[in-house]
Amino acid sequence: MSHDVNEIKKKVIETLKNIYDPEIPINIYDLGLLYSIDVKDNKVDVTLGVTSPFCPIAYIIIEQVKNALKNLFPEKEIEVHLDLEKLWSPKMMTEDGRKLFKLLYGYDPATET
């Protein structure tokens, strides 16, 4: 069972690497916006954050994620939650995300004060 859970989590991450933040051209996984993946029985539950709690199009990202995961796992129940309580920080970015940000903008946002 746990092998299946790990496979599902890997596929969720691969899928989220194809969905981009509308303001920063980096995928939401490498930005560190994936807070959790919970797989139980026939349900995949994903919690996401946003780079800014004032993001006017956060719900578009939620719909993109929900649609992508429903296409990937048509037999599963998909839940996508938005966590506006946990404040995002550049330190939450993956190493790949930080490298791409530095390439695009000329600095590593996780080391800036």
> Which runs of E-coded beta strand occur in the chain?
34-40, 43-48, 77-82
pLDDT tens digits along 41-73: 999 999 999 888 787 888 899 999 999 999 999
- pTM of the predicted structure, to 2 decimals: 0.91
Average pLDDT of the chain is: 92
Give, for 12, the enclosing helix (H) or strand (E): helix 2-16
CB count, 10 Å around CB of 109?
15
